[in-house]
Amino acid sequence: MRSKTDICGIGAVTAYGWGRESLWEGLASGVPCAQFTDGFGETPDLPGWVAHIAEGGKARDGSLHARALLAAAREAIEDAGSRGWTPGRRVGVISGGVREDLRTWDRLTELGEQLMYRREFIGMMPSTPIATLMSEFGFHGPSMATSAMCATGSAAVLTAKMWLDADMADDVVVVTTDLSATRPMVRNFVHCGVAITDVPPLEACRPFQEGTKGFTFSEAAVAVVLTQRKTDSYATLRGGAMTHEAHNAMALDPDSTSAIEAVTGALENAAAAPSDVRYLNAHGTGTKLCHRTESQILEAVFPHETGIYSIKPLTGHSQSGSALTEIAAICLAAERDLVPAPKPVADGHPQLLDGPSRPESGLTVKTSIGMGGYVAAVVLETP
């Protein structure tokens, strides 16, 4: 029998601010974190809606990307310690992302033949913040980087659970970081028809509601600590599964069979029945294709009593940072006794939650869908 895998520490740097309390306060307020920002409209002289991480962190950590990653990881480790966790002999680290330190890479390109300072150049390597973290805390377990596009966070925690189940590590710190909301990146996502910058978030992003257009682009660095030893944990990671649609580099498969199989596989892996699930915390980007796929998952797998919601109208879509942001939100919601579902602004799916509510007993399934066909589902049990 496999040991229980718990989430016992959380750290977060988001567009709501530095620290998990800023994330929670933002979610509980029901107010989106995006700002009407100069230079992000249709032309460079026009503003647009986007959610950036503000400057902060320790200057010695390097770029804003590295500062956010390390701040989230340190906060999660400190939080876990306050909840009774002590690091084992083999603490592993999994770092998730897609484009890594995009702003610094852009600077390298702009320099042309001019050389960077060596410290800055080494600092932009994805291995450097992780080496800093391992050295700072004396962690000697396995370490790796992973990416499954927007499903990265879910893929990372499932990998961590496999390490723990296989006795490859005693504990695992998982951190996902995405600070890619530069004008060229956002503009190209707008051009692809999925990101929206010209209207406010609650008008643009309406998951499972009429009139939805797409998502507001955002940034996040979020970390969690997983262990199989006794702590005052936030939640238990019961299990999960992943599939790939093998369909298209951008569009979701109209046949949602593979996506449904990720969810049914996750339930089987977690030894859970669909009737055990009270909430489906959806990927919920607000795009029409995502709406179609996740509505089909809900209707094919779960009973009418299972409620669905997405926090992306509030947090925006931080790409590879989104899944772990949403897992952290599920954990904090249980502790704070409030499911921070956004209040619907239009007619929607009959199982869509009608705004914030007190948690009811039952499991939560978190679905994540990454561009290119990645589908992941994790099953969480909260106290």
Is residue 252 within 8 A of residue 262, CB to CB? The reply is no
Lowest-pLDDT range of 117-131, 134-148, 168-182: 117-131
pLDDT in tens, 319-336: 999 999 999 999 999 999
Is residue 192 within 8 A of residue 212, CB to CB? The reply is no
**Which 8-state DSSP code applies to residue 344?**
P
Other C-beta atoms lying within 10 Å of the C-beta of residue 28? 15
Half-sphere exposure at residue 200, Cβ-oriented, CA atoms within 13 angstroms: 7
Does residue 346 have a pLDDT over 70?
yes
Please provide residue 158's backbone torsions phi and psi, each rounded to the nearest 5 degrees.
Answer: -70, -35
Mean pLDDT calculated for residue range 124-145: 95
pLDDT in tens, 80-120: 999 999 999 999 999 999 877 788 888 888 888 999 888 88
Other C-beta atoms lying within 10 Å of the C-beta of residue 126? 15
Please provide residue 18's backbone torsions phi and psi, each rounded to the nearest 5 degrees.
Answer: -90, 120
For residue 125, the model assigns a pLDDT of: 86
CA neighbor of 218 nearest in space, from 319, 294, 327, 97: 319
Helices (H), 91-177: 102-111, 118-123, 127-137, 152-165
For residue 104, the model assigns a pLDDT of: 82
CA neighbor of 5 nearest in space, from 141, 152, 157, 168: 157
Banded pLDDT at 358 (limits 50, 70, 90):
very high
Which are the contacts of 153, defined by CB distance < 8 A and separation ≥ 6? 96, 174, 176, 222, 320, 321, 322, 323, 324, 325, 326, 327, 368
d(CA 28, CA 341): 9
Q: At what angle do helices 127-137 and 64-82 cross, to 10 degrees?
A: 30
d(CA 39, CA 355): 33
**How buried is residue 330: exposed, middle or buried, by Cβ count under 10 Å (0-12/13-18/19+)?**
buried
Banded pLDDT at 305 (limits 50, 70, 90):
very high
Banded pLDDT at 2 (limits 50, 70, 90):
low
Q: What mean pLDDT is reported for the chain?
A: 96
Domains in the chain, start-ordered, CATH in brackets? 6-381 (3.40.47.10)
For the question of whether the overall pTM of this predicted structure is more than 0.85, the answer is yes
d(CA 306, CA 368): 17
For residue 3, the model assigns a pLDDT of: 80
